Amino acid sequence: MWVPLICFVVVALLATAGTGVVDAAAGRREVYVVYMGAVPPRTPPSFLQETHLRLVGSVLKGQVARNVVVQQYNHGFSGFAARLSKEEAAALRRKPGVVSVFPDPVYQLHTTRSWDFLQQQQQTDVVVKIGSSAKSRHSPNKPSAASSSSSATTAGDTIIGLLDSGIWPESPSFDDAGFGPVPARWKGTCMSGDDFNSSNCNKKLIGARYYDVGEVTRGGGVRRSGSARDQAGHGTHTSSTAAGNAVAGASYYGLASGTAKGGSAASRLAMYRVCSEEGCAGSAILAGFDDAIGDGVDVISVSLGASPYFSPDFSEDPIAIGAFHAVAKGVTVACSAGNAGPGSSTVVNAAPWIMTVAAATIDRDFESDVVLGGGNSSAVKGGAINFSNLDKSPKYPLITGESAKSSSVSDNKSASHCEPGTLDAGKIKGKIVLCHHSQSDTSKMVKVDELKSGGAVGSILVNDVERSVTTAYLDFPVTEVTSAAAANLHKYIASTSEPVATITPSITVTEFKPAPVVAYFSSRGPSSQTGNILKPDVAAPGVNILAAWIPTSSLPSGQKQPSQFNLISGTSMSCPHVAGAAATIKAWNPTWSPAAIRSAIMTTATQLNNDKAPMTTDAGSAATPFDYGAGQVNPSGALDPGLVYDLAEEDYLQFLCNYGYGASQIKLITSSLPSGFSCAANASKDLISDLNYPSIALTGLGNSSSGRTVSRAVTNVGAQEEATYTVAVAAPTGLDVKVVPSELQFTKSVKKLGFQVTFSSNSTAAKGTLSGSITWSDGKHTVRSPFVVSK
């Protein structure tokens, strides 16, 4: 799982940095993260730095401490990353004060198709001049919300930090017109680098940092990326989704036109560039968290994560570690759930202190239809983005991939799927080729490139699963149809000796129904770490999201100016929507903990689509809490939740006890514990379900009628101090759910009340995962918690 890239780079960097002869052992050195828990009280960063250097110096053989340390963590938590041999890492693991030592992992950004897209960009090699020309193109836009009301002025004081691929500061989404001075508590900086200096930050984009460990070039050399400037587009997109200004007239070459606006348009932004094109090093992710905490951000948005097939322990996962210390300091952390769905147990970033975000569609679609010839003018509906120049009349021969099979290929199936190398170029030239495409196949872009180079004029891809996520094929006419629609195409082809067709230009369809639906790619629960916490937490828009982009992407043919916006999909896109919502809640309720903010978002989430029917997945099945947690985020409802399920750092430590950590390890992680802290003797995985979470998950219920009981407590945060809430339970047949008491009376002096939920099932008919909800209501607020119970 470890990509050896990082260690190689650092070795090379040191070699060129003039450290003299690189000893033989250095070739086997790797970057390890040495995590040392919370910063001890009243410890200045400079002292901590010296401590780290002395510690690493005590285990080094033939190296100078300063030359092996590549990152230091001194603000939000203590630790460092260093180039170590296996033996040195093992020696550090045994040192007092060290919580964990682990090889530096490489995580990936959570977009679905941008990597395909990036590869294509590299091949086409279109270079657009960047810098001042980009600046002059931008028309300043006044963020309407920033100065219009007093509450928005407060929102202007919240700061969202993003750990991502950098930012394009010239985008109108980051213009600072109308913003007041940078909040006085801000301690961050605007780091200079390649094509980026302090003039690129302003009162909107108030900070930018990068963590340079260098990149290996194709030729084997080392290139230092050295800039917060975004070369991938991802960080620019997520930043503008979280807090971009309202920019009128935004579109992707005319598609999806409208106003692009971030979730919290009045918030400030700070970019922590932790990713390069190769991925995101764990050592850099930790450095980003450490600085974001020290700089004073209110919310951290993280649209990246580990592979779902590698689920590191919390103490060896840079995101879990960084987020833990952020949350302990009152900073809300939202993370993408991952794009490894729809298989179960694929969710990542599932620590209980993180808000884990799934992705759903919005009510917008991009339609590009197939018009058939032969007097049959009816069109077959498809979807994609094309920039083609096909004639409006259906005059292009339409064939199946199978009928163009190359004589050297025996397998009809791979030809019907248009797999590379299976088609005869002579047979596809000038034609529209119908190809089957399911998820497991070669990527769409690879197929389409092959058809294009073979001289085809267009392609129709048959794809049931991925249809809801629009792909931009740019200058080659491609549309995607369902297998039901494809059956009509096959019928037509069989019905005539000269089948002809054309593909119509893409149009934007709004108020598309049903929406939202959970996207196929969105990673699903249960978490592989524990089934006793429900993950993901919520869903948010993550399909075909229009947001700011870098102007250096390749230009579709016929287009003269690069688009300042792009449409992309992934839980990467849904996460910053929730980060924006969290920043707005924080602005209205500055004293709320991250847990209270998450609770407000979860208990007010919605479960209905725009057909007023229960939300489904894009495959049409009913959505479950493992697909979308508490449901689709409802940012305005979340501002007035009525009750919240609150949590403090001790609760998370108790969780770690129940999870199996020893008290001595836990004591190192935190700095705020009384010295007598110990894990309860009855600590157990079952008690994890008792964490005061806004959802309930419970495994191993069994068949006994006595069942299992979990505890919860809610705090009244509504405007009315005197409030009476009653409970309503929605449970599946075969599962008994009792809530005691069933009424909660809050008064001026009683702000927090506990209750217990008992689940039992002696019904053998009730099998698998049973889900439902518990809802408290005072007639004005609806405070809903989903539950999942398995026998």
Ligand X SMILES: *[C@@H]1O[C@H](CO)[C@@H](O)[C@H](O)[C@H]1NC(C)=O
Minimum gap (Å) between residue 249 Cβ and ligand X: 16
Rank residues 422 and 527 by Cβ distance to ligand X and give the closer one. Answer: 422
Binding mask 186-225 for ligand X (x = CB under 6 A): -----------xxx--------------------------
Rank residues 48 and 404 by Cβ distance to ligand X and give the closer one. Answer: 404
Tell me the torsion sign for CA atoms 417, 418, 424, 427: positive
Footprint (CB under 6 A) of ligand X, residues 739-778:
762, 764
Considering the rule CB under 6 A, would residue 621 count as an interface residue with ligand X? no
Which two three-digit tokens encode residue 635?
A: 């940012």
Which of 762, 629, 788, 764 has its CA nearest to residue 698? 788
Rank residues 403 and 665 by Cβ distance to ligand X and give the closer one. Answer: 403
Give the span between the Cα atoms of 442 and 447, in whole angstroms.
7
Our measurement of the distance from residue 210's CA atom to the centroid of its chain's CA atoms, rounded to an integer in Å, reads 20
Number of Cβ within a 10 Å radius of residue 651:
16
Q: Which stretch binds ligand X (CB under 6 A): 106-114, 388-396, 623-631, 750-758?
A: 388-396
Considering the rule CB under 6 A, would residue 412 count as an interface residue with ligand X? yes
Minimum gap (Å) between residue 653 Cβ and ligand X: 14
Considering the rule CB under 6 A, would residue 387 count as an interface residue with ligand X? yes
Considering the rule CB under 6 A, would residue 148 count as an interface residue with ligand X? no
Considering the rule CB under 6 A, would residue 600 count as an interface residue with ligand X? no
Question: How far is CA 201 from each of CA 171, 549, 781, rounded to the nearest angstrom?
Answer: 12, 17, 41
Q: Which stretch binds ligand X (CB under 6 A): 84-92, 376-384, 449-457, 747-755?
A: 376-384
Minimum gap (Å) between residue 123 Cβ and ligand X: 21
- Of 385, 517, 545, 697, which lies in the binding site for ligand X, with binding defined by CB under 6 A? 385
Minimum gap (Å) between residue 689 Cβ and ligand X: 10
- Of 174, 210, 211, 492, which lies in the binding site for ligand X, with binding defined by CB under 6 A? 492
Rank residues 252 and 521 by Cβ distance to ligand X and give the closer one. Answer: 252
Which two three-digit tokens encode residue 353?
A: 């202190």
DSSP codes of every residue in 65-100: HHHHEEEEE-SSS-EEEEEE-HHHHHHHHTSTT--E
Q: Which stretch binds ligand X (CB under 6 A): 55-63, 374-382, 649-657, 779-787?
A: 374-382
Q: Which stretch binds ligand X (CB under 6 A): 18-26, 346-354, 379-387, 624-632?
A: 379-387
Q: Which stretch binds ligand X (CB under 6 A): 89-97, 233-241, 314-322, 385-393?
A: 385-393
Pairing mode, if any, of strands 643-644 and 708-716?
antiparallel
Count H helices, E strands: the chain? 20, 39
Considering the rule CB under 6 A, would residue 678 count as an interface residue with ligand X? no
Footprint (CB under 6 A) of ligand X, residues 270-289:
none
Q: Which stretch binds ligand X (CB under 6 A): 210-218, 224-232, 260-268, 380-388?
A: 380-388
Minimum gap (Å) between residue 763 Cβ and ligand X: 7
315 DSSP 8-state letter: G
40 DSSP 8-state letter: P
Considering the rule CB under 6 A, would residue 675 count as an interface residue with ligand X? no
| Residue 219: φ, ψ to 5° | -75, 0
Considering the rule CB under 6 A, would residue 705 count as an interface residue with ligand X? yes
- Of 63, 276, 283, 386, which lies in the binding site for ligand X, with binding defined by CB under 6 A? 386
Considering the rule CB under 6 A, would residue 427 count as an interface residue with ligand X? no
Question: How far is CA 480 from each of CA 44, 294, 367, 368, 510, rounded to the nearest angstrom?
Answer: 58, 48, 9, 8, 18
Considering the rule CB under 6 A, would residue 682 count as an interface residue with ligand X? yes
Considering the rule CB under 6 A, would residue 488 count as an interface residue with ligand X? yes
Are 289 and 207 contacting, i.e. CB atoms less than 8 angstroms apart? no
- Of 71, 231, 239, 388, which lies in the binding site for ligand X, with binding defined by CB under 6 A? 388
Q: Which stretch binds ligand X (CB under 6 A): 15-23, 357-365, 538-546, 702-710?
A: 702-710
Our measurement of the distance from residue 591's CA atom to the centroid of its chain's CA atoms, rounded to an integer in Å, reads 26
Binding mask 501-530 for ligand X (x = CB under 6 A): ----xx------------------------
Number of Cβ within a 10 Å radius of residue 765:
7
The residues assigned a catalytic role are 164, 234, 572
| Residue nearest to ligand X as judged by C-beta position | 505
Considering the rule CB under 6 A, would residue 561 count as an interface residue with ligand X? no
Rg (CA), the chain: 27
Rank residues 331 and 372 by Cβ distance to ligand X and give the closer one. Answer: 372
Q: At 492, which amino acid appears?
A: Y
Q: Which stretch binds ligand X (CB under 6 A): 251-259, 288-296, 540-548, 627-635?
A: 251-259
Considering the rule CB under 6 A, would residue 497 count as an interface residue with ligand X? no
Give the span between the Cα atoms of 125 and 766, in whole angstroms.
58
Any bridge partners for residue 163, and if so which?
A: 272, 302
Are 194 and 226 contacting, i.e. CB atoms less than 8 angstroms apart? yes
Rank residues 453 and 706 by Cβ distance to ligand X and give the closer one. Answer: 706
Any bridge partners for residue 775, and if so which?
A: 728, 784
Rank residues 230 and 317 by Cβ distance to ligand X and give the closer one. Answer: 230
Considering the rule CB under 6 A, would residue 651 count as an interface residue with ligand X? no
Rank residues 183 and 734 by Cβ distance to ligand X and give the closer one. Answer: 734
Name 586's Cβ contacts closer than 8 Å, sequence gap at least 6. 158, 298, 299, 332, 592, 597
- Please, how many CA atoms are within 13 Å of residue 306, restricted to the half-sphere of its CB? 24
Give the span between the Cα atoms of 635 and 265, in whole angstroms.
13
Are 583 and 243 contacting, i.e. CB atoms less than 8 angstroms apart? yes
Total residues at the site for ligand X (CB under 6 A)?
33
Which two three-digit tokens encode residue 253?
A: 């070459």
Cis peptide before 308 (omega within 30 of 0): no
Considering the rule CB under 6 A, would residue 378 count as an interface residue with ligand X? yes
Our measurement of the distance from residue 230's CA atom to the centroid of its chain's CA atoms, rounded to an integer in Å, reads 17
Considering the rule CB under 6 A, would residue 71 count as an interface residue with ligand X? no
Contacts of residues 147-153 at CB distance under 8 Å and 24 or more positions apart, as own/partner, are: 147/178, 147/179, 147/180, 151/587, 151/588, 152/266, 153/180, 153/266
Give the span between the Cα atoms of 532 and 210, in whole angstroms.
37
Footprint (CB under 6 A) of ligand X, residues 354-373:
372
Considering the rule CB under 6 A, would residue 702 count as an interface residue with ligand X? yes
Give the span between the Cα atoms of 475 and 390, in whole angstroms.
11
Considering the rule CB under 6 A, would residue 733 count as an interface residue with ligand X? no
Give the span between the Cα atoms of 81 and 321, in whole angstroms.
14
Give the span between the Cα atoms of 286 and 328, in whole angstroms.
15
Give the span between the Cα atoms of 5 and 14, in whole angstroms.
14
Q: Which stretch binds ligand X (CB under 6 A): 9-17, 387-395, 591-599, 668-676?
A: 387-395
Minimum gap (Å) between residue 357 Cβ and ligand X: 29
- Of 134, 266, 286, 390, which lies in the binding site for ligand X, with binding defined by CB under 6 A? 390
Residue ranges binding ligand X (CB under 6 A)? 197-199, 253-255, 372, 376, 378, 380, 385-390, 402-403, 412, 488, 492, 505-506, 680, 682, 687, 702-703, 705, 736, 762, 764, 791
